[in-house]
Amino acid sequence: MPDESPPVSGDAEHWRTQYNEIAASAGRLAHEVRNPLGTIGLNLELLEEELRDTDTARDRRMHKKVQTLQRECQHLNLIVENFLQFVRTGTADRLPVVLNDLVGEFIEVFRPVAAAQHVELVPHLAAQLAPVLLDGRMFRQVLFNLCQNALHAMPDGGQLELFTYERDGEVVLEIIDTGKGMDERTQSRMFDPFFTTKDGGTGLGLATVQRIVMAHEGRIECESALNRGTRFRIRLPVAS
């Protein structure tokens, strides 16, 4: 996991303020990029409709080129949307929540998605958990990103387990898959923004997860081995 602590020689609060200012500026830039990108996408859609039913070889070639541009435009839009989501995760509006309630709701929604990819979703939720302070909307994104990554790691199906339990004044969530796992290099960089090993990936999914967990004063850990699966463990302080 990359070191997210402020430089030793600097003041932590000053470092945090500077970081937030940079993130806000980057967010405004992303908004500015999204507007013309939307215009380009709309015009490509209109052009694609005009070329869709044409018969000449020249128009068919143009149609394929327009479709390629559409795919690239959609990918750029995905990068911008994910980056805006990453920027917005600096602060959390937290309320007391029993983690099992949030996880249980997520499982009901995500189970059909997993089943469609031949992945069995298996919950192991503790009978009693102390409440934690959570921003429910943001933490659902953590669950979705980690479970979606797990599905990508199990293209031929497998098992995805979710555990909750309480230990040493913390509520712990574990998400374990039986997928292809990660090598040491990937594990060392997996939380780096824009680092990805997936074709078409933005490299912001796990970076966003880490920022959200940190915004909740929590910790995230990972254990993984090639062809043996991956375990993510999130530790959240019990609400005082």
Question: What are the pLDDT digits (tens) for 178-199?
Answer: 999 999 999 999 988 878 877 7
Same domain, 69 and 100: no
Alpha-carbon distance 146 to 155, whole Å? 15
Distance CA 144, CA 135 (A): 14
Residues 6+ apart with CB under 8 A from 107: 121, 123, 162
Do 100 and 212 fall into the same domain? yes
In a domain, 174, yes or no: yes
Q: How confident is the model at residue 57 (pLDDT cuts 50, 70, 90)?
A: confident
CATH of the domain at 224: 3.30.565.10
Strands 229-237 and 219-225: antiparallel
Residues 19 and 44 in one domain: yes
Which of these, 215, 185, 238, lies nearest to 85 by C-alpha position?
A: 215
Tell whether 76 and 127 lie within a shared domain. no
55 and 106 both lie in a single domain: no
Residue 60: the pLDDT is 86
83 and 110 belong to one structural domain: no
The per-residue pLDDT for 15 is 47
Question: In terms of domains, do 58 and 110 share one?
Answer: no
Evaluate if residue 31 carries a pLDDT over 80. Answer: no
Total-model pTM: 0.68
Q: Could you tell me if residue 226 is left (phi over 0), alpha (psi between -120 and 50 degrees) or otherwise beta?
A: beta
Pairing type for strands 158-167 and 219-225 reads unpaired
Q: What is the pLDDT of residue 194?
A: 78
Count helices and strands (H / E) in the chain.
6, 7
The dihedral through the CA atoms of 165, 205, 177, 122 has a sign that is positive
Residue range of the domain that includes 63 = 12-90
> How open is the CA angle 26-186-19, to the nearest 5 degrees?
25
Same domain, 25 and 140: no
By the 8 A CB rule, do 149 and 205 touch? yes
Same domain, 64 and 130: no
- Same structural domain for residues 144 and 27? no
67 and 113 in a common domain: no
